[in-house]
């Protein structure tokens, strides 16, 4: 791909870090999907067009994109539904594309987990600029890899793609479970109050109450235990939760 129309994302980003260039196009209009795919490929991005609209989440899991272009009006289920399903397992950035460009639909797209919105018909150069900006914000090109990871006691969180690993084995977590782990792993040995954790979850549009947090923590502990990480999340009665640091505090279950 050395024609004059080809642009190298790595050169543009000025980084030797792995390039995040896999884009999933979930658009049921073949003309729009093909034109978009062809244009993005001239910029060096690897594109994949969703084929099975009854299992968009499966397509995401198979292709493992770095960014998703999501039409709102799709066969079987709309794009809002699929974005919510994706958000249960991934923070991959999503740009909604739709001919429904009224304020209500734009707000709905953001509330359903979208990161940006572009109205049809759209200019491909504007779309390209939005993709570049969102990838840059999401993956922070040029930042040291260690800044995008948290590790403690055999657990590793990759903040770039919201993935979790226990002793080297990937562990599937919901969005809330990942956020709870992130809150605790940022400050090993320090008690994080339940209010602080709930506030962090609210920031991701997960409006939960005190009882729901208890259920989330219990499920997370069960997953960690099944993965071989027992007693990772400890309770400080009346204060909150913490994970052991250099000087672990006494805990009560």
Q: What is the pLDDT along the chain (253 residues), one digit of tens a residue?
A: 333 344 444 444 444 333 567 899 999 899 999 999 999 998 888 999 999 988 998 888 888 888 999 999 898 898 899 998 888 878 888 999 988 877 888 888 888 888 888 988 888 988 999 898 888 877 765 544 456 788 888 888 888 778 888 877 888 888 889 999 999 998 888 999 998 888 887 755 455 678 888 999 999 999 999 988 889 999 998 899 999 875 434 433 3
- The pTM of this model reads 0.53
Cβ contacts of residue 26 below 8 Å, gap of 6+?
A: 50, 53, 56, 59, 68, 69, 70, 71, 74, 79, 82
Same domain as 192, residue 110: no
Same domain as 95, residue 24: yes
Q: How many domains does the chain have?
A: 2
| Cβ contact 90:58 at 8 Å | no
Among the candidates 124, 139, 154, a domain finishes at 139
Same domain as 151, residue 213: yes
Tell me how far apart the alpha carbons of residues 169 and 190 are, in angstroms, rounded to a whole number.
26
- Phi then psi for residue 16, to 5 deg, are -90, 0
DSSP character for 145?
G
Is residue 3 in a domain? no
Same domain as 223, residue 195: yes
Tell me, what CATH number does 192's domain have?
Answer: 1.10.10.10
Is residue 100 in a domain? yes
Which range marks the domain in which residue 186 is found?
145-242
User: What is each CA distance from 101 to 17, 36, 78, in whole angstroms?
Assistant: 36, 19, 15
pLDDT tens for residues 71-130? 998 988 988 999 988 888 788 889 999 888 778 888 888 888 888 889 888 889 889 998
Tell me how far apart the alpha carbons of residues 102 and 111 are, in angstroms, rounded to a whole number.
15
């Amino acid at each position: 791909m050395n024609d004059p129309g080809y642009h190298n994302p790595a050169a543009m980003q000025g980084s030797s870090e792995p390039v995040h260039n896999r884009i999933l196009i979930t658009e049921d209009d073949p003309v729009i999907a093909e034109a978009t795919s062809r244009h993005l490929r001239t910029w060096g991005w690897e594109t994949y067009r969703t084929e099975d609209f009854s299992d968009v989440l499966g397509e995401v899991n198979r292709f493992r994109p770095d960014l998703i272009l999501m039409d709102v009006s799709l066969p079987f289920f709309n794009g809002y539904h699929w974005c919510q399903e994706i958000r249960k397992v991934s923070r991959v950035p999503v740009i909604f594309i739709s001919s429904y460009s009224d304020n209500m639909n734009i707000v709905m797209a953001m509330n359903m987990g979208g990161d940006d919105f572009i109205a049809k018909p759209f200019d491909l150069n504007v779309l390209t600029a939005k993709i570049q900006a969102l990838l840059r914000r999401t993956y922070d090109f040029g930042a040291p890899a260690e800044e995008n990871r948290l590790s403690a006691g055999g657990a590793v969180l990759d903040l770039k793609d919201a993935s979790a690993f226990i002793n080297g084995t990937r562990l599937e977590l919901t969005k809330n479970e990942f956020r709870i782990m992130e809150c605790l792993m940022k400050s090993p040995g320090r008690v994080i109050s339940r209010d602080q954790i709930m506030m962090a979850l609210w920031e991701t549009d997960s409006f939960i109450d005190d009882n729901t947090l208890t259920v989330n923590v219990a499920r997370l502990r069960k997953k960690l235990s099944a993965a071989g990480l027992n007693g990772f999340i400890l309770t400080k009665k009346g204060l909150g939760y913490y994970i052991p640091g250099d000087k672990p505090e006494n805990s009560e279950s």
